């Protein structure tokens, strides 16, 4: 179990696998570079991101703004019902703009930032502590949570679980901010165990009600936009939770949870599934959990073992994971060395593929795996590929989005969309003159860069026939060929 992969298996295929899974993929040159480093230094190049500076500035609104809130509240108080509605609509519009900016901000970090492994971890934690702006309705809270995941991306399990519980977005999302000692709200108490740390069947219903009592007092200062402990709503009576008795509070609950061996197994299984694309065998997971526990519940040493071990490079693991929509979108832009489309276009694309960032379908997050693929989302991938690669001949208007299925509604993005342009892929940048003139070398180059495996059956012939229907093909034809490669089953896996 968990033996390091031998150096003689380190090649372009295994290096590409590491870059795709621990990061978000890249062009052939980036894969080559990792392959040249050897396995130890390749893993370190991704994992030890602390030494790489990431100067991305926060959005300018990303801080508590008590004045803004005070003014808004005062204005609402003295307003007529009509004015009230106008004020609320204006604020909603402002928040929507900020959310759009936030989506673009994060996607750019994933696509272009220097720490792709850290961003991949943020994506993992976002799916794990799945919190949606649909209920939280506060862009600053959503940004703050995202930054917390980044700060603790490979940190300590207990610290992360505790901070995630005191996180303002979470306090709103699972109603903990509303819980009072007279009537404890069980929502967070239940989900923290069921979905975040232990899994169903590893606690009793009594544990849920007792944890809900202990958690009372964890609250939110809406004015200052931060966590606050309020002793007057805390139930200070005795509770019994997971075998501990006393006047327990929220911190005690989190400590009791992480002390359970199951808390380690739960999270290592989820991490393995996320990165390896399949649930670990019981034996493997026990070994992974042991690594986490012997390292004082710090994730970094565990992740290093994971990305270094033989099991991670097993034939059943390589190229057997369905790309998540984010991986598909960001990975495509990295692989094809093209810009991501504007945030609003990315939003529409990701929604049509089933992964709306900052708005997971529910607190369980995205199911992922094969569930990413339905007849609906597969056709959407095939069609969205055209927008990404071939770009838009003319600028898009808000109308183009209102016609999309599940795309942003016209009333939501308003006229703010204005005219948007998607550049598409530049064949000159990623292909040699020979590849752009010779169908044989072009097909081989696309196979290598995009599929990272061989075409199947008649696929290669179909692509050749497509290119061969004209004696000389131009850049637009090459873009169409790239899109066709992306419209295959193999492109959907990594």
Partner 1 sequence: MKNEITLHTRREFLRSTVLGSALSWTVPAFLANTFAALQAGAADAATQIATGKDATILVVLQMAGGNDGLNTIVPFANDDYHRARPKLGLSAQDILRLNDQTGFHGALTGFKGLYDAGHLTVVQGVGYPNPNRSHFRSTEIWQTASDSNRVEKYGWLGRYFDNCCSGAAPTVGVTIGSQMPQAFFAKTPTGVCFNNPQTYRFQSHGRPGPGGPDVVEAAYEKMNEVETIAPPADENSGGSIGMLAAAMPMTGGKAVDFIERTALDAQISSDRVHEIAGRVQNQATYPASQLGNSLKLVAQLIGGGLPTRIYYVSQGGYDTHVNQVPTQQRLLKELGDSVQAFVADLKAQNNLSRVLVMTFSEFGRRVTENASGGTDHGAAAPLFIVGDKVKAGLLGTQPGLAPQDLFEGDIKYTVDFRSVYAGVLESWLKTKSTPILGRQFPPLQLV
Chain residues 387-446 in contact with partner 1, contact rule CB under 8 A: 387, 390, 392-393, 403-406
Interface residue with partner 1 among 53, 78, 80, 375 (CB under 8 A) is: 375
In the complex, what is the shortest distance from the CB of residue 372 to partner 1, in angstroms, rounded to a whole number? 9
Interface residue with partner 1 among 222, 255, 450, 480 (CB under 8 A) is: 480
Tokens of 64: 């508590």
- The pattern of x and - marking residues 211 through 250 that bind partner 1 according to CB under 8 A reads ----------------------------------------
Residue closest to 332 by CA, chosen among 424, 254, 240, 442: 424
Q: How many CA atoms lie within 13 A of 140 on its CB side?
A: 16
Contact call for residue 130 and partner 1 (CB under 8 A): no
Tokens of 47: 């994992």
In the complex, what is the shortest distance from the CB of residue 38 to partner 1, in angstroms, rounded to a whole number? 24
Tokens of 470: 């004209």
**Is residue 417 a contact partner of residue 344, using CB atoms and an 8 Å limit?**
yes
Interface residue with partner 1 among 56, 96, 159, 178 (CB under 8 A) is: 178
Contact call for residue 454 and partner 1 (CB under 8 A): yes
Interface residue with partner 1 among 185, 236, 260, 441 (CB under 8 A) is: 185
In the complex, what is the shortest distance from the CB of residue 494 to partner 1, in angstroms, rounded to a whole number? 9
Of residues 290 and 493, the one with the C-beta less far from partner 1: 493
- The pair phi, psi for residue 493, each rounded to 5°, is -115, 160
In the complex, what is the shortest distance from the CB of residue 42 to partner 1, in angstroms, rounded to a whole number? 21
**Is residue 479 a contact partner of residue 427, using CB atoms and an 8 Å limit?**
yes
In the complex, what is the shortest distance from the CB of residue 60 to partner 1, in angstroms, rounded to a whole number? 32
CB-CB neighbours of 437 under 10 Å: 12
Residues 6+ apart with CB under 8 A from 472: 437
Q: How many residues bind partner 1 (CB under 8 A)?
A: 81
Contact call for residue 327 and partner 1 (CB under 8 A): no
Interface residue with partner 1 among 65, 260, 438, 488 (CB under 8 A) is: 488
Of residues 119 and 447, the one with the C-beta less far from partner 1: 447
Stretch that binds partner 1, among 115-123, 136-144, 185-193, 291-299 (CB under 8 A): 185-193
Of residues 30 and 363, the one with the C-beta less far from partner 1: 363
Bridge partners for 334 per DSSP = none
- The pattern of x and - marking residues 246 through 285 that bind partner 1 according to CB under 8 A reads -------------------------------x---x----
Stretch that binds partner 1, among 42-50, 68-76, 80-88, 460-468 (CB under 8 A): 460-468
Of residues 76 and 379, the one with the C-beta less far from partner 1: 379
Contact call for residue 315 and partner 1 (CB under 8 A): yes
Interface residue with partner 1 among 79, 259, 286, 493 (CB under 8 A) is: 493
Evaluated on CA atoms 249, 251, 255, 257, the torsion sign reads: positive
Bridge partners for 226 per DSSP = 221
Interface residue with partner 1 among 318, 344, 350, 443 (CB under 8 A) is: 318
Contact call for residue 356 and partner 1 (CB under 8 A): no
**Is residue 467 a contact partner of residue 437, using CB atoms and an 8 Å limit?**
no
Expressed in angstroms, the distance from the first to the final Cα of the chain is: 24
Interface residue with partner 1 among 290, 382, 402, 441 (CB under 8 A) is: 382
Contact call for residue 456 and partner 1 (CB under 8 A): yes
**Is residue 148 a contact partner of residue 121, using CB atoms and an 8 Å limit?**
no
Bridge partners for 309 per DSSP = 4
Of residues 297 and 321, the one with the C-beta less far from partner 1: 321
In the complex, what is the shortest distance from the CB of residue 474 to partner 1, in angstroms, rounded to a whole number? 9
Stretch that binds partner 1, among 36-44, 108-116, 160-168, 379-387 (CB under 8 A): 379-387
Of residues 75 and 373, the one with the C-beta less far from partner 1: 373
Contact call for residue 489 and partner 1 (CB under 8 A): yes
Of residues 429 and 461, the one with the C-beta less far from partner 1: 461
């Amino acid at each position: 179990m968990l033996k390091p992969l031998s150096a003689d298996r380190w090649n372009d295929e295994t290096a590409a696998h590491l870059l795709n899974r621990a990061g978000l993929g890249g062009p052939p040159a980036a894969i080559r570079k990792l392959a040249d480093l050897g396995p130890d230094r390749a893993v370190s190049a991704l994992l030890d991101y602390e030494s790489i500076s990431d100067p991305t500035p926060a959005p300018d609104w990303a801080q508590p703004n008590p004045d803004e809130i005070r003014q808004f509240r005062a204005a609402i108080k003295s307003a007529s019902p009509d004015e009230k509605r106008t004020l609320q609509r204006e604020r909603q519009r402002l928040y929507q703009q900020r959310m759009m900016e936030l989506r673009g901000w994060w996607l750019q970090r994933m696509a272009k930032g220097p720490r792709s492994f850290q961003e991949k971890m943020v994506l993992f934690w976002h799916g794990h502590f799945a919190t949606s702006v649909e209920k939280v309705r506060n862009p600053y809270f959503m940004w703050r949570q995202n930054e917390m995941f980044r700060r603790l991306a490979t940190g300590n399990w207990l610290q992360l679980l505790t901070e995630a519980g005191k996180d303002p977005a979470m306090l709103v999302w699972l109603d903990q901010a509303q819980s009072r000692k007279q009537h404890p709200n069980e929502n967070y108490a239940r989900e923290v165990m069921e979905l975040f740390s232990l899994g169903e069947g590893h606690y009793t219903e009594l544990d849920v009600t007792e944890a809900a009592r202990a958690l009372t007092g964890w609250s939110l200062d809406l004015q200052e936009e931060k966590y606050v402990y309020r002793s007057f709503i805390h139930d200070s009576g005795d509770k019994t939770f997971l075998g501990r008795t006393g006047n327990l509070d929220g911190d005690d609950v989190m400590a009791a949870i992480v002390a359970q061996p199951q808390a380690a197994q739960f999270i290592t299984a989820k991490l393995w599934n996320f990165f390896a694309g399949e649930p670990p065998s019981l034996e493997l997971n026990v070994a992974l959990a042991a690594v986490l526990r012997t390292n004082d519940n710090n994730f970094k040493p565990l992740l290093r073992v994971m990305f270094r071990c033989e099991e991670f490079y097993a034939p059943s693991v390589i190229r057997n994971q369905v790309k998540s929509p984010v991986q598909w979108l960001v990975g495509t832009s990295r692989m094809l060395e093209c810009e991501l489309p504007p945030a609003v276009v990315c939003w529409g694309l990701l929604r049509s593929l089933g992964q709306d960032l900052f708005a997971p379908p529910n607190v369980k997050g995205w199911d992922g795996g094969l569930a990413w693929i339905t007849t609906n989302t597969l056709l959407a991938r095939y069609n969205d590929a055209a927008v990404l690669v071939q770009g838009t001949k003319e600028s898009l208007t808000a109308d183009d989005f209102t016609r999309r299925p599940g795309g942003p509604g016209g009333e939501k993005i308003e006229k703010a969309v204005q005219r948007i342009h998607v550049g598409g892929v530049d064949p000159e940048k990623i292909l040699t003159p020979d590849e752009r003139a010779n169908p044989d070398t072009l097909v081989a180059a696309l196979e290598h860069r995009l599929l990272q495996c061989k075409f199947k059956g008649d696929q290669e012939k179909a692509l050749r026939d497509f290119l061969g229907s004209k004696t000389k093909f131009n850049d637009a034809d090459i873009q169409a060929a790239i899109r066709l490669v992306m419209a295959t089953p193999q492109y959907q896996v990594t």
